[in-house]
């Protein structure tokens, strides 16, 4: 068993949408940070002050410190997301340095994306052992729209579920195999094409 196949990082649809918008707006690269729950759900993607070029996004330590100082839950900021613009998704030497620079007492989720909406995700554990798991599946999680009550009401209003008709096991008489009769045989219903026969459960 490969460990990356047993791991999955989920990202809220809203966070993913912000990342795609910023990816489209950036000429080249950009970085953002997000919170991660202990169950590895990424949410709350936020920008911080940065200067980027077409080919690099450097984490300004002073800007990062300012961002974390002002953050409500700095301890939950455990995801670093950056875009490669028009290039492919991979971990560059500079990315490895960024991840090492973001080392903390627990873990970091890193996601690299590009303008073609490709994404690669990895998990770095810093303690109690140093471990990197690359190629982790990233699953976009749709928001809960709380539609259960409304769907139940509409289902009860519009849908009738008929009981299954008894299977008679009778063969179609050789005379006139009409399409209706053939369908009836297929379903195991009486070999009849009499429309009225369906009336009792409509």
Tell the smallest beta-carbon distance from residue 29 to Zn ion (Å): 7
Q: Provide CB contacts within 8 A for 32, sequence distance 6+.
A: 18, 19, 22, 45, 46, 47, 48, 81, 82
- Residue 9 or 112: the one with the smaller Cβ distance to Zn ion is 112
Which of 95, 138, 184, 189 lies at the binding interface for Zn ion (CB under 5 A)? 95
DSSP 28: S
Stretch of 13-21, 42-50, 95-103, 116-124 lying at the interface with Zn ion (CB under 5 A) = 95-103
- Residue 92 or 192: the one with the smaller Cβ distance to Zn ion is 92
- Residue 4 or 52: the one with the smaller Cβ distance to Zn ion is 52
The verdict on 52 binding Zn ion (CB under 5 A) reads no
Cβ(87)–Cβ(70) under 8 Å?
no
- Residue 58 or 197: the one with the smaller Cβ distance to Zn ion is 58
Cβ(132)–Cβ(116) under 8 Å?
no
Q: How far is CA 42 from the centre of its chain?
A: 11
Which of 4, 52, 92, 106 lies at the binding interface for Zn ion (CB under 5 A)? 92
**CA separation for the pair 9, 90 (Å, rounded):** 17
- Residue 74 or 88: the one with the smaller Cβ distance to Zn ion is 88
Tell the smallest beta-carbon distance from residue 66 to Zn ion (Å): 22
Closest residue to Zn ion, based on beta-carbon distance: 95
From 69, 82, 66, select the one nearest 34 (Cα to Cα): 82
Binding residues for Zn ion, rule: CB under 5 A, are 92, 95
């Amino acid at each position: 068993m490969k460990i990356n196949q047993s791991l999955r990082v989920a990202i809220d649809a809203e966070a993913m949408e912000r990342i795609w918008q910023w990816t489209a707006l950036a000429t080249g690269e950009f970085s953002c940070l997000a919170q991660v729950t202990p169950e590895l759900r990424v949410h709350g993607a936020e920008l911080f002050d940065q200067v980027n070029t077409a080919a690099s996004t450097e984490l300004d330590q002073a800007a990062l410190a300012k961002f974390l100082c002002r953050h409500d839950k700095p301890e939950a900021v455990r995801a670093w997301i950056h875009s490669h613009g028009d290039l492919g998704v991979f971990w560059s030497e500079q990315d490895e340095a960024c991840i090492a620079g973001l080392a903390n007492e627990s873990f970091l989720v890193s996601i690299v994306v590009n303008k073609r909406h490709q994404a690669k995700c990895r998990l770095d554990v810093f303690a109690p052992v140093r471990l990197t798991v690359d190629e982790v599946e990233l699953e976009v999680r749709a928001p809960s729209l709380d539609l259960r009550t409304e769907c139940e009401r509409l289902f009860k209003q519009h849908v009738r579920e008929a009981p299954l008709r008894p299977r008679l096991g009778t063969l179609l008489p050789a005379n006139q195999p009409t399409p209706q009769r053939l369908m009836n045989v297929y379903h195991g219903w009486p070999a009849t094409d009499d429309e009225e026969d369906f009336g009792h459960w409509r």
